[in-house]
Chain A
Amino acid sequence: MAAFAPDLPAREIARCVRAGDLRAADVVESAFARIDATEPQVRAYLAKDREWAFARAGLVDDRVRGGKPVGPLAGVPVAVKDNICVDTMPCTAASRILEGWTPPYRATVVDRLLEADAIIIGKTNLDEFAMGSSTENSGYFPTRNPWDPSRVPGGSSGGSAAAVAAGSASVALGSDTGGSIRQPASLCGVVGMKPTYGLVSRFGLLAFASSLDQIGPLARDVDDAALVLEAIAGHDPLDSTSLPAAARKPLNGAAADGDGLPAGLRVGVPREYLEASVDEGVRRAVAAALDALRALGATTVDVSLPHTAYGIATYYILATAEASSNLARYDGVHYGRRAPGARDIVDLYSRSRGEGFGAEVKRRIFLGTFVLSSGYYDAYYLKGQRVRALIRDDFEKAFARCDVIAGPTSPVTAFRLGERTADPLKMYAADVFTVAQPLAGIPAISVPCGLADGLPVGLQLAGPPLADSLLLRVARAYESARGRFPGPPS
């Protein structure tokens, strides 16, 4: 058995390492060989750390040899989005303003991965400060979709999605604010999940929009995603928005709600999603997925999310407002890049930020500053908060009539690099199906459901707050029925 074949699930790796059938060091070796093979084209990584990975792998192997217990992710190569702090590697958020900055501390999720004996192999590329849907906004270079290198992997967690799709990581962590885990998962043909807000700690995640951001897993199948989520989820006293311990139920496999589709599952299909502009190939693939769910015993129910059309506007008001404040700290004073030769402190701030931030980040800071500014707060920000409440209420009412909501993750498959960069609004419009769930705080998962013109299509399932294990269960059942999903060609 190859030490690290692209289709060897993470849970299998862990099982084999635990049993002594596989050495963690060999897994890491294979992973880096895979990285070397794929990176020239895919460019998913901003940083890699061979030495640290081998050192940790060695520790895991020592423990196994000594008969000591190892964690549920023992020996599993994990890639971490470069907006999550790992203290042994630089953390740049794919921005020039943080070029070369190494955090003096670790994110809680990273602590938990390490406690689970995972091997963090590198930091993945993203749209700068998680702002974007294609990873083209990275301040360093774009990542390419392993399915077609002329196309984007999606964003903002494009690097993580591409690494998992290319097999240069077994699983990965991403972050999702308006779709940034789910949309790239959809475009790269992998599983990606945004948990219920507060399920996973944000301590150590470079904040974009604090009331929307969540860290979540990307993996090649649902069970692996569940394995990672189980390892990283749970109350964190360092994060005031982290759900209390009692709120959480187990997420992984047998400990979760059970196997197979729950009897009598009602799948809500929002009519607004059916009416939205969606590529034909995407529509067909999602329709086939719904057929598969029905064949498993689910009933589909017509539901309405009347404020769907206002989601993007609301998202771009609230997320940019929070972002404009969260990004104020990048000022060249305490860390990161400082513009040389500043005349005075204001000049230092303005030039460091002007030179360090890319166009999309500046655009969003501008918009966010505007909606919070004196005279406009009520007209934009306050209104946005009210519409947010209506969007949350939409879901609440819908979930009275169904258990999960289904639809396409993205209206399109992977588009070509440069295709949408000229028009920000066009880029924003692609978020139509993924902005509402963070606004409502509810969990959502994207599972590959078919191909359209040879490119992956994702099925999105959303559930009520804390229905994470239900979503995983339904997704798993669908996945089994769907059968094996191909990997990228070559």
Chain B
Amino acid sequence: MSGATDHEVVVGVEVHAQLATRTKLFCGCPTTFGAPPNTQTCPTCLGLPGALPVLNRRALELAVLTALGLGCRVDPRTRFDRKNYYYPDLPKNYQISQLHRNLGVGGFLELGPRGGGKRVSIENVHLEEDAGKLLHDERGPHSVVDLNRAGIPLVEIVSGPDLRSLEEVEDYMETLRSTLLYLGVSEGKMEEGDLRFEASISLRPRGATALGARVEIKNLNSMKHVLGALRHEVGRQAAILRAGGAVPRETRLYDEATGETARMRSKEEAHDYRYFPEPDLAPVALDESWLAGLRASLPELPRARAARFAATYGLPEYDAGVLTADRALADYFEETAAAAGDAKAASNWIMNDVLALLSSGRVPLADHARRVPPSRLADLIGLVRDGAITHTAARQQVFPEMARTGEAPAAVVASKDLAVQSDRDALAAVVERVLAENPKAVDDWRKGKPLKAVQGFLTGQVMKATGGKASPAVAADLIAGALEKRRA
């Protein structure tokens, strides 16, 4: 994206995240995903004449947690305002949102390594109700309104125009999503529309401080779409500027099929939302000691946790980032590391074998952790470390079986007869046999071939003879001794 070399790219991102509540923001309708259209509505979220809103306490709590988790100053007298505009998915033709006294302001989010650890400012965090959905009726020039989503609680997180590259944008979105999951305020299920994005982008000559004309891109439903839209915009805007033109300030939509943005068919007049304080809701007065308690109860957030993993466990930055992307995974890692007394091994196992298993089998971590809890994985690590089984056998045979059946590693080793043969006497006999069957190798060694090479070949033969169960270390040691005896 820094392909527009004479221009600097300036991007801000707005995220709407659905809060993890059971019911809507202002009424008791359920928020479950995927219900048939218009089966989760009531007079309030339908905007029926005479209906009134009542604020969901849990939604407020989760929004406050979000603001605190993003380092914002929380306004204890935060207030709701009406945002007035007409649209068929907005049954009251106003949205209850916030403007004059947002829940949180002045926060920040620290990016991961891909974003250079940059601190991105969070201008505000506020609470608002979602609108319904428009379905396009294939049978004719109609749209059909589904109000199931109307009234669902959203927290809107507005960044400052601090992002300067696609990498930073991607990191911001992922870090933010991860943070919201860590806080437990949103389930972040992209496929259920838990997170929606809007981006604004402008270009300016390198070194300039004033912002260029801003283009807003709305209704981006995935991170992929955000990046695609921005990629297109950079090219489009750069081309205009290079040709000496001016980029019009406007709102555009992204077409994922063409990968291009297009000007929205906008209204003649710019939106005048005529915000005013919502008279149907009582003002909120947040208790300072309650806020302090919430602040103190904030979990360790992903960036901080990754930094601690790198420092405490000596993990590379990349690995720490992968392990902390998901809070449950990070917990799984730490518990395994503690039980095994070996963070590096735990990290390797999780990053390679566990993650591969989760993604290929589409297994949720919670399910996997029931079958292979951290203590069991630690046991497996211990078995390998003690030489009771080979690393190969552990990865290829024991772990998959443990994940499939939930058995303990020792049981799997026993039932598959994978225990490494370390008995020196038994192995000595095998070694003798192997040396007898391979006179040429012995001869090569006598003639001066390096021990390591001969040892390696002969160890391989011992492994073959024992069906892979010999302890390679013991075999190699016995071979060295047996060769010595044949020096003459």
What residues of chain A have their CB less than 8 Å away from a CB belonging to chain B? 84-85, 91, 93, 98, 101, 103-105, 107, 202-207, 209-211, 237-241, 321-322, 324-325, 328-331, 333-335, 345-346, 349, 369, 372-374, 377, 381
- CB pair B52 A91 closer than 8 Å: no
Residue B221 is within 8 A (CB to CB) of chain A in the complex: no
Which of B88-96, B121-129, B199-207 contacts the other chain? B88-96
Which of B68-76, B277-285, B321-329 contacts the other chain? B277-285
Q: Please, which residues of chain B bring their CB within 8 A of the CB of A346?
A: 86
Q: Please, which residues of chain B bring their CB within 8 A of the CB of A209?
A: 279
Q: Please, which residues of chain A bring their CB within 8 A of the CB of B46?
A: 334
Q: Please, which residues of chain B bring their CB within 8 A of the CB of A329?
A: 47, 49, 91-93
Besides A211-B279, A324-B274, 9 more A-B contacts (Cβ < 8 Å) are: A104-B48, A241-B52, A329-B93, A334-B47, A345-B88, A372-B276, A374-B272, A374-B274, A381-B276
A325-B94, A328-B94, A334-B91 given; A91·B49 CB < 8 A = yes
For the complex, would chain A's binding face be called helix, strand, loop or mixed by DSSP majority? Answer: loop
Residue B361 is within 8 A (CB to CB) of chain A in the complex: no
- CB pair B54 A240 closer than 8 Å: yes
Q: List 22 A-B contacts (CB under 8 A).
A: A101-B49, A103-B48, A104-B43, A107-B50, A203-B50, A203-B51, A207-B49, A237-B54, A238-B52, A239-B52, A240-B55, A241-B282, A322-B279, A325-B274, A328-B86, A328-B92, A334-B48, A345-B88, A369-B274, A372-B274, A373-B272, A374-B272
Q: Please, which residues of chain B bring their CB within 8 A of the CB of A84?
A: 50
Contact partner of A105 among B43, B47, B94, B280, CB < 8 A?
B43
- CB pair A85 B82 closer than 8 Å: no
Residue B223 is within 8 A (CB to CB) of chain A in the complex: no
A202: nearest residue on chain B (CB-CB)?
B52
B84: nearest residue on chain A (CB-CB)?
A325
What residues of chain B have their CB less than 8 Å away from a CB belonging to chain A? 43, 46-55, 82, 84, 86, 88, 91-94, 145, 272, 274, 276, 279-282
Q: Please, which residues of chain B bring their CB within 8 A of the CB of A103?
A: 43, 48-50
Q: Please, which residues of chain B bring their CB within 8 A of the CB of A239?
A: 52, 54
Q: Please, which residues of chain A bring their CB within 8 A of the CB of B53?
A: 240
- Docked complex Cα distance between A372 and B43 (Å): 27
Q: Please, which residues of chain B bring their CB within 8 A of the CB of A372?
A: 84, 274, 276
- Docked complex Cα distance between A91 and B84 (Å): 25
CB distance from A459 to the nearest CB of B (A): 31
Q: Please, which residues of chain A bring their CB within 8 A of the CB of B281?
A: 240-241
Q: Please, which residues of chain B bring their CB within 8 A of the CB of A335?
A: 48-49
Ranked 9 nearest A-B pairs via Cβ: A328-B93, A372-B274, A210-B279, A211-B279, A204-B50, A206-B49, A374-B272, A329-B92, A85-B50
B273: nearest residue on chain A (CB-CB)?
A374
Contact partner of A321 among B47, B54, B276, B280, CB < 8 A?
B276
- CB pair B282 A105 closer than 8 Å: no
CB distance from A238 to the nearest CB of B (A): 6
CB distance from A445 to the nearest CB of B (A): 24
- Docked complex Cα distance between A47 and B86 (Å): 32
CB distance from B100 to the nearest CB of A (A): 11
A240-B281, A329-B93 given; A93·B55 CB < 8 A = no
Q: Please, which residues of chain A bring their CB within 8 A of the CB of B94?
A: 325, 328
CB distance from A6 to the nearest CB of B (A): 31
Q: Please, which residues of chain B bring their CB within 8 A of the CB of A205?
A: 50
B143: nearest residue on chain A (CB-CB)?
A345
- Docked complex Cα distance between A101 and B48 (Å): 11
- Docked complex Cα distance between A239 and B55 (Å): 10
Which of B49, B88, B145 has the most A CB atoms < 10 Å from its CB?
B49
- CB pair A333 B88 closer than 8 Å: yes
- CB pair A328 B84 closer than 8 Å: yes
Contact partner of B52 among A203, A330, A334, A374, CB < 8 A?
A203
Q: Please, which residues of chain A bring their CB within 8 A of the CB of B52?
A: 202-203, 238-241
